[in-house]
Structure 1
Amino acid sequence: MIRISLVVLLMLASHAGLALAEEARPWASKEKTRFTPTVHHPNIKTVTLFAENPDIVTPVGIAVAPDGRVFVQENHTHKRTSDYQGPETDRILVFEDSDGDGVADKRSIFYEGHTFSTDLLFGPDGHLYVSTRWFIGRFRDAATKSKADGEPEKLVVCETEGDYPHNGVGGLAIDPAHPDWLAFGFGENLGVDYAFVGSDGVRLSGGGEGGSTYRCRTDGTQLERLSTGHWNAFGMAYDLAGNLYSTDNDPNATPPNRLLHIIPGADFGYEYRYGRSGQHPLVCWFGENPGTLGMCGALGEAACGVIAHGPEKLLTASWTDNRVDLHTLKPNGASFQATREPFLTGPDDFRPVHFSYSNDGRYLYFTDWVKISYPVHGHGRIWRIEFKEPVRLDPEFPRETPARPSPQQALKLLGSDDPYVRTQAMHVLTRHPDVLSGFDWQSVECPLVRSHAAVTLKRIDPIQNAAVVPDLLADEASAVRFVGIKWIADADLKQYRSTLEQLLDRSDLTRRDLRAIIAALASIGGEAGREFFPDDQLAEIAVDASRSPRLRGLALQSVNSSSGRLQVGTLYSLSREQDELLRREAIRLLVIHPDPGRAKRLAEVAADESLDDSLRADAIAGLAPFAEQHQSILNELAASSSEVIASEASRTLSTAESQQRKLEPKPELSDLPAWKKLVWEADGSPNPEVGRRLFFHAKLGNCFSCHAMNGRGHDIGPDLSTIRNQTGVSSDWLLKHIVNPSAEMAPYYRPQQLITVDGKVRIGLIVGREGQKQAYVGPDGQIFLLDKNDIEERRELTTSVMPNGLLDRLSPEEIRDLLAYLLEGDEN
């Protein structure tokens, strides 16, 4: 790693501040940067602070003109607070380095007047393309001008009542090999209806389907949708081979952020209509549903800009992880798989957003938001990287563009093992519906063909083609049935309710099948748009003796333990059933049930020698809050010949009020190497089963009080069911974030300090869409509502609601077991 001289950097920063003092900017911080980013790539020669506050504050988009001038969006409207004194609208500033020392010494205002600016891009035509939350425009011939002639020419307008700052129109991209086309991204818009209108009147509308990407001619004509199923396509870029990519930020409870390879007709699985958590059974994040695509690479938290970095490489900015990452693109069928490695990293006040190269590829400029605060805050930076060897920017030729399959070829490709090939085939067939209607796809043996032919029919016309839904529900393949189940929910096909309910009687039903069916029934019953909490229906199934034991056990797996739908006595009765699945799930629910009356029943289960040791151990762990009252039986169990039972009983005894766990002191929060040494030098091997008990342990781990795992727990913090799928998540990564939970927090999990007009102070996390009456969840897990008119002040806190010291009550071996469970998961 290389570190640039801090003394030189501070001298340059001081010089810049003196040279750019032509305008009084009381809203801007005078605080100077006292670090330089750490370099991780051998081709980086220097990193220079090109400009900083007070000369630039809260910058977003950046674009370098052919003559080397740097155009930057200065944001003054992004979640603007009442006491912010900056300009009323955003500005586009121009920075110049007239003496070639790598630091801007001239600054001017090119344009002022936008709201919620998001990206800038110079096209090969010399026009400056700009995106704000609500439109895409261009300033003609800006490359040769010092000031805008007036308002930008509006190319595409987004008509919507959505007004969250950065989930509307986002990233811009132009492939130099096809300079007449402009691609752009769009966020989930909080599910609000919208319509895009091109300059030629083409109108594309949507609502709750999630984020999308589009392209149009650079004059705003021939607008078309490319892909859907995004959370927020904030960054967009073409690689040198002409492949289009998007950074997808910022999943609410489903990590990681995704690097997506965009092709026409792609669906990446997320739909806001089914809630913002991404946990709804009818949506997906990894391409697991028929007709959807997964990511080609995982990104850092709050991924923002993306840009090509020579052949087969990309750079991305992670706002939350304080880093710029380098991704190498490796062919993976018809798509790519992207690696991830650090390119440039910085401390907590390093928040990279968007990139732009100088015309010769010698320099890369990028904006830095600086602070963790979402509202504008008076800080900002522009960095300049100088390369030892210029980065290649010209497109690759000749390009190997795969020929689009004919409609007849597309029929065969529906069964391809490559999801990108299947997507291309479906896209072709949606434009040739007559070819698909003449194909007896239901007789084809391959389930991939049947499921993807059905998805294509649905895309062509979900109402006119709905007659095939009963056949889909009767199919022997679960994937085909899933298409029919989702079709009913998406198109609100209430006429198929009874057919859908009959699926519950299948002997080969899985938990995923059950959740999808119940979710679809909830949707056509008027529950669409809400998170998936059908506890009444699931509880009813669980206690219905006329249902199969397997169905009842699957239902128990999905019931929220805190819902109160199933009483302790009911669960105990279910724990005495002969079916193994039903018995196990009843005991696991008893362990985390909120009724203290569960203690007696758990003690009975713990003492039952006819049960499997692992089930008895679950019950023993559940006795931890009542260890004092049950010391007698716990002492007996601690002497058991079963190591599983004895060790769990001893652990539970150690949590009694009269006992004190004998644990060695833990390192300081900042001493991560010491934590690693403590955990990884512990005796024995990690045990995920013990880790699961600790996750749901009321006295030790207690993770479930804020987090969910495979449907169990709470949603105050991020759902951890898929945390193991995130690239870069390792035992060390988890250890770091549990030891110091305030080190990094995803944007939606930053607590708000709310001071009301009557002087009360409340702390909570925003729940759902912000409205006149906003819901918050407090540190105690309880939801409370506040009217915006009653809030005197709202501040975003940098301290997590997840407290420090959670691992202090665990032994090194237990910490390792818990990490193993988080990484391996538990689908049972």
Structure 2
Amino acid sequence: MRSKWFAILGMLLWIARPTAALALDEAATLALLVRTIQQSESDGVRSSLMKGMLRGLEGRRDVQPPDEWNSLATELARSDDPSIRDAANRLSQIFGDTAATERALATLRDPLAPDSQRQAALASLVSQRDTGLAEELESLLDVDALRLDAIRAYAVIATQDAPRILLSRYATSPREAQSATIETLATRKAYAKELVRAIKDQTVPREHIPSYIARTLRELLGQEFTAVYGEIPELEKNVSERIAKFKRLITDEALATADARRGRVVFQKTCGACHLMYGAGGKVGPDLTGSNRANLDYFLLNSVDPSGDVPEGYRTQLVQTVDGRVLTGVLAEEDSRRIVLKTVDQPRLVIAKDEIEARKVSEKSMMPEGQLEQLPREDLFDLVKYMQTKSQVEAAE
């Protein structure tokens, strides 16, 4: 319980204080936290306070360390608790300690290190934009526990060979890795050009490109993209006619022979990347468990016209960074120093505001348009049947 309250203290010092005083308070707050950690004899308290510091400094680089940090870091490095050693090393990286970066690289390269430690090391090195990381990424694609993180790291650590490396593995990669590859190659103009070539030569099937990625690629490349992909279909003007068409199809008789278990599988493929249902799925869009999803009119209106009435908290954000990335997601958090996006592949993508060159809010939802039209009739009926369930059902095999 005591550790919990210290964790809350650490978080409040960084998140709940007035943003106008942020710059003035930072040095004093860091010094206070470091002194508190020094004075504590509880590993739980120390760990909790450092977690609060890491959360508050998330996305930051080359922060001026408190005067007493170096001596404290040396002490923490001798701790028997690996989580304390790891947190201290991550903080030292944020404070610009090159020795801490080398330790993280050593952990990442160590095949005998626990997967969780290697994942944490990779995340910290990506966050700090370590230039030596580029040489490590290709080998990490062969490590199951690190593959997705390594693919996404290429979005931050730009290399000329990234498209060739990722696309050469595309055909044999699992679907999740293919999705991460598409998302990564859509973040930079040079990468995007290679992705378009891959669509043209069918290395990447056109149908693998989600609509929100297609819109991003159109923003980046314009005619160069649409000449290969084709125009991105926009919704028909008369939404009510399209809803009426589906209501004529989705009859009580059709639903009587539908299978909610198969519908769960359809949901997982078409909706589950962004939406929660019964506790499973993504968190980009709203949780559908408690929504009015059983009402056919409600379901059709939100499916047929997903951009018709997008709540403010779910509007698509397009962010261009000073290092040339283009990122698409939904705003999860924002303060005076950073924004946090939720994307299909990354539930928490932190971007420092001083790294943002341009930013706009799109009127379009990230939810694909015309999605119901692309479903076979049986899949459509099964999906509607699943959406009308009152409790989770077992997925069909």
In the superposition, the TM-score normalised over structure 2's length comes to: 0.44
Larger Cα Rg: Structure 1 or Structure 2?
A: 1
Q: Of Structure 1 and Structure 2, which has the larger fraction of its residues in strand? A: 1
